[in-house]
Chain A
Amino acid sequence: MSAAVSEARPLLEVKGLRMHFPVTEGLVSRRLVGEVKAVDGIDFIVRRGETLGLVGESGCGKTTTGRCILRLERPTAGEILYDGVDVAKMERKELLALRRRIQVIFQDPYSSLNPRMKVGDIIGEPIKVHGIESDAGRRTTRVRELLSVCGLDPRFADRYPHEMSGGQRQRVGIARALALNPEFIVCDEAVSALDVSIQAQVVNLLEDLRERFGLTYLFIAHDLSVVRHLCQRVAVMYLGRIVELADSDELFGHPLHPYTQALLAAVPVPDPSVEAHRTFRPVQGEVPSPINPPSGCVFHPRCAIAVAGCKHARPELRQLRPGHFVACSEVR
């Protein structure tokens, strides 16, 4: 990467982000009995034009991180600098402007589209709400253009979501996200609910759109093979923390954190001959509760290389190879 690019201000800079949700007890007078540390102090940047993958298992905090960036949650602590301005501190008016620049594609095209609205109205709504195009005729033209950009027949504008297949619905969700010409899109499990044969189509579409419109993606997903394909850099999360962050080739080629290694080993390869020669012991135990996470390194109870010290000291992300950060005291 050229010095000019790396020195430029990143599009998004997340610093010390924490999102703790209160856990309460009692029906009438609710008492605070603890908190879920969904995100517990994470730092990363997203550069203009890149796709950063955020991976991990359920409860690791990847979706909450995305929701904080979109300001669907107000973070407990930390800064989310979007183009230099802290999203966490934005007021209503600034937020409205922000939503033109940041959009989201959700996992489930079944529940994220209003079933009573025609596809054309679903896609046209943000254009109307943001007052970009008040003329109905020109709005229709724009909607048709967006449909065709997303590989759908412009005549689909008159259909309802239930008349479409899952893949087509997800394309509608993508068209809606593109309606305001955003520069940054949070893709939250955007291809996870799709059938295998459709998933590849949508992955290719997302890549095409990134190139065509110069988009930047935060790609939140649990499917590691899709993440490797789509992302330039990848951050692995576990129990609210980033345990490893590196360029995609580096992370998948030389995973260093024991959790990343376990995660990669757990993915079966679609080839019986490869699998026949691969012996592996799945990592033991389950992800502990984020209400009462383990002390020190949160992965230590399941870790094969943990030593006594891992119970006490929380490992910070260290750069072990150029651009390759690992939060583990035992990896050199």
Chain B
Amino acid sequence: MAPLLEIRDLHTEFRTGAGVVRAVDGISYTVEPGETVAIVGESGSGKSVSALSVLRLIPDPPGRITHGEILFVGRDIMQLSDEAMREVRGGEIGMVFQEPMTSLNPVLTIGRQITETLEQHRGLDRAAAQKRAVELLGLVGIADATRRLKQYPHQLSGGMRQRIMIAIALACDPKLIIADEPTTALDVTIQAQILELMKDLTRRLNVALIIITHNLGVVARYANRVNVMYAGRLVESGPAAEVYHNPRHPYTMALLRSVPRLDRPRQERLDPVEGQPPDLTRLDAGCAFRPRCRFAVEVCAGARPPLAMAGGPGHLAACFQSHVVGRETGAAA
């Protein structure tokens, strides 16, 4: 079966005062129907830009997708007209962003924002759209739908607004939802509610989900597969359990070791990733993680390591030393 989404060698650049930033520097990955894929990385790793590129939401200027194919249900999104792209966005691909207050329109009622989507993408009339909106609010666990539909975003709590965003994302029966840090702005108990809701709905409705996050716990709980990004590139990719238990890239390994865990005895000291994140305007020809890497050897300075098979099936890592990393993590496991 063909994947739902296939990204091939995507490059997105930004022209800044300090030079050209290759925010996404040649990434390729796939998403199968109904699965949840997490993209993890830290600020500046390119995780959000890669997702916005899929939606062709990169502001130009200063940004530009310079290369790559984005095949969604067999069509190359890069070749679509702007109008056709608007149909895809919010139609076949739903979106949930971090800050629902800024992604909802403050001067339109909740109801109007949902029915607008339905009228535009589905050609429903007012009454049918209204009926579907009530249904959608029920789906995302909002009681008292008729009253809520008449309210404005500022009258709702952060968690409630995020439920509305999910309702809008689901409105046109999408095949894929892209969620960019959907719960980062929320408190931990509300985060849990929203993530459980998204998991439940995507499973029930067989919607694929790309979830972009920096939270390693969220990935562990919700993702089938995980893509780890560093300095604009995918450094590791594979089934979540495999990547977590047998990481083959030094960055992934170090990242997982650096977080304190509630389920383990308290450590004497944390084991941080040393050094600073790279300056994307000053990358050289070698591996971008090299200055922080204790496995680095001479060859790492000469070229960027390509993503290659490592460990079990479907497990890829972009590291010349991944066999050495594997010996260490394998021994620890």
The residues of A with any CB-CB pair to B shorter than 8 Å are 57-58, 165-168, 195-201, 203-204, 207, 222, 224-226, 228-229, 248-249, 252, 262-276, 280, 282-284, 286-287
Contact = CB atoms under 8 A, between A and B. Distances in A.
Given A274-B263, A282-B189, A286-B159, A195 B277 contact: yes
B272 A224 contact: no
Contacts of B273: 197-198, 200-201
Nearest to A252: B262
A163 to B, nearest CB: 10
B116 to A, nearest CB: 26
A195 B43 contact: yes
A264 B262 contact: yes
A282 B261 contact: no
Nearest to B40: A196
A9 B259 CA distance: 35
Interface string B215-231: 11111111100000000
B245 A273 contact: yes
A228 B266 contact: yes
B244 interface: yes
Contact of A275 (B220, B269, B271, B274): B220
B17 to A, nearest CB: 12
Nearest to A55: B188
Contact of A196 (B214, B220, B262): B214
A20 B214 CA distance: 36
A263 B220 contact: no
B280 to A, nearest CB: 12
Interface in B144-164: 157, 159-160
A190 to B, nearest CB: 14
A283 B189 CA distance: 7
A222 B263 contact: no
A273 B241 contact: yes
Contacts of B272: 197-201, 203-204
B188 A201 contact: no
24 contacts: A57-B187, A58-B187, A167-B276, A168-B276, A197-B42, A197-B258, A197-B273, A198-B276, A203-B260, A225-B259, A228-B266, A252-B262, A268-B222, A269-B217, A270-B216, A270-B217, A272-B220, A272-B221, A272-B240, A275-B220, A282-B189, A282-B192, A284-B193, A286-B159
Interface residues of B, number: 47
Contacts of B215: 268
Nearest to A56: B187
Contacts of A201: 272-274
Contacts of B221: 268-269, 272, 275
A18 B266 CA distance: 34
Contact of A165 (B157, B261, B276): B276
Interface in B232-281: 240-241, 244-245, 254-256, 258-263, 266-267, 269-274, 276-277
Contacts of B216: 196, 270
A-B pairs, top 6 by smallest CB distance, nearest first, are A200-B272, A268-B217, A197-B273, A57-B187, A282-B192, A270-B216
Contacts of B263: 269, 271, 274
Nearest to B216: A270
Interface of A is mostly: helix
Given A57-B190, A195-B277, A196-B255, 20 more contacts: A195-B42, A198-B42, A198-B273, A204-B272, A225-B261, A229-B270, A265-B192, A266-B191, A267-B262, A268-B195, A269-B217, A269-B221, A269-B263, A272-B221, A272-B241, A275-B217, A280-B192, A282-B193, A282-B196, A283-B192
Contacts of A264: 262
A224 B189 contact: no
A88 to B, nearest CB: 29
A211 to B, nearest CB: 11
Which of A204, A252, A267, A274 has the most chain B CB atoms inside 10 A of its CB?
Answer: A267
Given A271-B220, A275-B221, A207 B262 contact: no
Contacts of B223: 272
Contacts of A286: 157, 159-160, 190
Given A200-B270, A200-B272, A286-B190, A270 B261 contact: yes
Contact of A267 (B159, B217, B276): B217
B256 A270 contact: yes
Give the interface centre of B190, B216, B221, B273 by most chain A CB atoms within 10 Å. B221
